[in-house]
Structure formats: structure tokens, C-alpha cells
């Protein structure tokens, strides 16, 4: 009786080992099949990407644009599709002018499970130029390094990009240079252009730090701007035409720019707020917004000291600021002001503050 029970207990073990072996073999076979399938998928997509890059370059050349680069195709198996573009350079033509870009070696990659996002980075010098029609000189921007992402719509059309630039320099057509320690720029645009004033043409954000002012230029002071940021959505259709014509058509269609947020810091003064802007009949900006300040008292004292606010208005300026400022939760004094811009004059209520220079468009 005892031996029979022992035999029953030991009997199933060989079957259990065989089952485990079959399970392991099945798992290995499944992994091999899945791995082979994934490798086939990776190779097919990599070949399509290589063909797509070459086809795009040829298409641009056929349109009269210039595209040059050296590369070794797509690599990065198994977790990325990756490529390095050596000595890349672009030059393209469009109705509003010409553009050019030349950069150091650029690394680009995307995840196999997300083919609508391309990560890019480069540790070298990049130079870009924009020449607007009828303008005598170029807008130029240079940076010592960049990193960011490019996103695509389902159709493959450009959706937008986010680029972080190291030590970017912006040179205006008049030769004035604006230098920054770092800046991040984002663009997001719809798949189809807007057909009326309620639809977005595009969203732009900017976050710049340590902006050095050109010699002889001052805002509150001549010191560097510590922070300059904005988040703006442009609404309304704008045709592909020379700049003046495009802006006039956008204005006539009811186009506006909704500045959902902006911020500025220089010395003791901090500004933040929002605004809605449009263009008047002379293609000059007009609109209204709300600004919240910190350090306004200190800023007014600087302007009085430097003679920007005349001595005979100093008492009124100090009294007005004192009435506006209230303690905030951060322990600082805050003032919230409603401002308007019309006929190039910025006003606080009915009181004009200062005039802006006229913007001359090419």
C-alpha cells in the first residue's frame, strides 16, 4: 500500500518536466518568430525612410532648391531609426523671399513605435539666413549647438518643431546683433490652412535667457534681459505672397494674434500678462492687454534717476505706482495694469505713456 502511494506521487514528475520543456521551446520559437518579424518590419521601414529622404531631396532640387548632405543611410537597430547627416546645407526659394541653412553634423532619430516624431541634435555651429523680397539685407541667426524635435501630421506634412539653441545670435538687416545665452523656439501648425479668422494659422512660443542689448540701447537699463518669453497663437488665413500683401490680406480677413502669455525680466522689473493684437490700416500693431508687474517702484526710481521720467513728473509717478502696488503672496509688491496700443502709442487707460517707433516693412 505504501509503495503504491509513493509510485503515484512520483509518476507525474516526468510529465511535468516534459511540459516545462515544451513550454520553454514554444516560448523560444515564439520569440524567434517575433524577433524575425520585428527585424523584417525594421528593415522595411528603414528602407522606406532611406528612399523617402532621397526622394525628398530630389524633389526639392527639381523645384529649384538646393539640398546637400552626406550620410550612410538608416541605422540604430533595434530600438531606433537613426541617421547622421554630415555637412548639411539647404537653400530654398518661396514667394516672400529666400532662405538658407548650413550646419554641423546633425543626428536624427525616431522610435519604431512613433514615426511622427523625429529627435535631432547637433553639437556644432549652425547658421541660417532669411532674405525677404525687396529687402536690402538678410535676417541671420547662428547658434553653437541645437537639440529638439520635429513632429509630423499623419499625412507626413510638417506639424511643427521645438528647438533649443545654445548661444544664439540674431542679426537684423540693419546689422544690429541680439545675443542670447540660450533660447527655445516652438512652432505648431494645423494640417490644413485656416479659412477664416477663428481658425489658427500657427502657434509660436519663445523662451530666451540672458539677452544682451546692442551698444547704446536700453530698456529699463542697458543690462542684459534676464528673461523674455511668449506664447502666441496667430489666427486667420494668410496667403503665400510678398510680406506686405500677405499681412494686408491677413488683416482684412480679421486676423489677430492672441498673446496668451508673455514675461519679461530686467533688473528689478518683472512683467507678465496677456494681450490681443492686430494690424491697423498702416500695418502697425494695435490691441490691448493686461500686465502684472513686480519691482515697479524700483524701476520708476531708476527712470527718474536717469532722467527718463522728468523731475517735474517724479512725484506723480511715485504716487501713481504706490496706489497701484499691492502685496502678493510671494511677499513682493505687484501692480496689475490694463494697457492699450493704438496709433503706435501705448496708453494706461486714457493716459498715453510712450510711443513706439514705426515698423517699416519691405
Q: What average pLDDT score do residues 271-283 get?
A: 95
pLDDT (mean) for 32-57: 87
Rounded alpha-carbon distances, angstroms, from residue 8 to 12, 13, 17, 32, 158: 8, 10, 16, 38, 70
pLDDT > 60? residue 296: yes
Question: 97 — alpha (psi -120 to 50), left (phi > 0) or beta?
Answer: left
What percent of the chain lies above the pLDDT cut of 90? 62
* Residue 20: predicted pLDDT: 76
Q: Is the peptide bond before 78 cis (omega within 30 degrees of 0)?
A: yes
Write the DSSP symbol of residue 48: H
Provide the whole-model pTM: 0.82
Confidence of residue 23 (pLDDT cuts 50, 70, 90): confident
Rounded Cα–Cα distance for residues 85 and 100 (Å): 16
Residue 215 has pLDDT above 90, yes or no: no
The mean pLDDT value for 86-114 works out to 92
Amino acid at each position: 500500500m505504501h509503495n503504491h502511494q509513493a509510485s503515484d506521487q512520483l509518476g507525474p514528475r516526468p510529465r511535468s518536466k516534459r511540459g516545462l520543456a515544451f513550454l520553454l521551446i514554444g516560448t523560444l520559437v515564439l520569440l524567434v518568430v517575433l524577433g524575425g518579424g520585428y527585424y523584417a518590419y525594421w528593415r522595411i521601414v528603414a528602407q522606406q525612410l532611406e528612399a523617402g529622404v532621397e526622394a525628398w531631396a530630389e524633389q526639392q532640387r527639381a523645384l529649384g532648391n538646393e539640398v546637400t548632405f552626406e550620410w550612410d543611410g538608416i541605422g540604430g537597430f533595434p530600438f531606433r531609426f537613426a541617421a547622421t547627416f554630415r555637412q548639411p546645407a539647404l537653400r530654398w526659394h518661396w514667394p516672400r523671399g529666400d532662405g538658407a541653412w548650413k550646419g554641423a553634423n546633425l543626428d536624427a532619430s525616431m522610435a519604431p513605435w512613433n514615426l511622427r516624431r523625429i529627435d535631432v541634435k547637433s553639437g556644432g555651429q549652425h547658421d541660417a539666413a532669411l532674405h525677404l523680397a525687396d529687402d536690402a539685407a538678410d535676417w541671420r541667426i547662428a547658434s553653437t549647438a541645437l537639440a529638439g524635435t520635429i513632429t509630423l501630421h499623419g499625412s507626413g506634412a510638417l506639424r511643427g518643431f521645438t528647438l533649443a539653441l545654445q548661444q544664439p545670435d540674431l542679426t537684423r538687416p540693419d546689422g544690429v546683433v541680439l545675443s542670447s545665452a540660450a533660447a527655445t523656439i516652438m512652432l505648431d501648425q494645423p494640417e490644413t490652412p485656416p479659412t477664416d479668422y477663428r481658425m489658427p494659422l500657427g502657434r509660436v512660443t519663445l523662451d530666451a535667457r540672458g539677452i544682451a542689448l546692442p551698444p547704446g540701447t536700453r530698456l529699463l537699463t542697458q543690462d542684459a534681459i534676464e528673461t523674455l518669453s511668449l506664447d502666441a497663437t496667430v489666427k486667420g488665413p494668410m496667403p503665400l505672397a510678398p510680406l506686405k500683401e500677405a499681412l494686408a490680406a491677413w488683416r482684412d480677413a480679421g486676423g489677430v494674434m492672441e498673446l496668451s502669455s508673455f514675461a519679461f525680466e530686467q533688473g528689478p522689473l518683472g512683467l507678465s500678462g496677456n494681450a490681443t493684437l492686430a494690424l491697423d490700416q498702416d500695418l502697425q500693431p494695435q490691441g490691448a492687454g493686461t500686465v502684472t508687474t513686480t519691482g515697479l517702484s524700483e524701476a520708476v526710481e531708476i527712470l527718474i534717476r536717469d532722467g527718463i521720467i522728468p523731475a517735474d513728473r517724479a512725484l506723480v509717478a511715485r504716487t501713481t505706482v504706490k496706489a497701484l502696488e499691492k502685496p502678493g503672496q510671494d511677499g513682493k509688491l505687484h501692480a496689475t495694469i490694463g494697457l492699450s496700443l493704438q496709433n503706435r502709442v501705448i496708453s494706461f487707460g486714457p493716459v498715453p505713456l510712450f510711443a513706439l517707433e514705426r515698423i517699416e516693412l519691405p
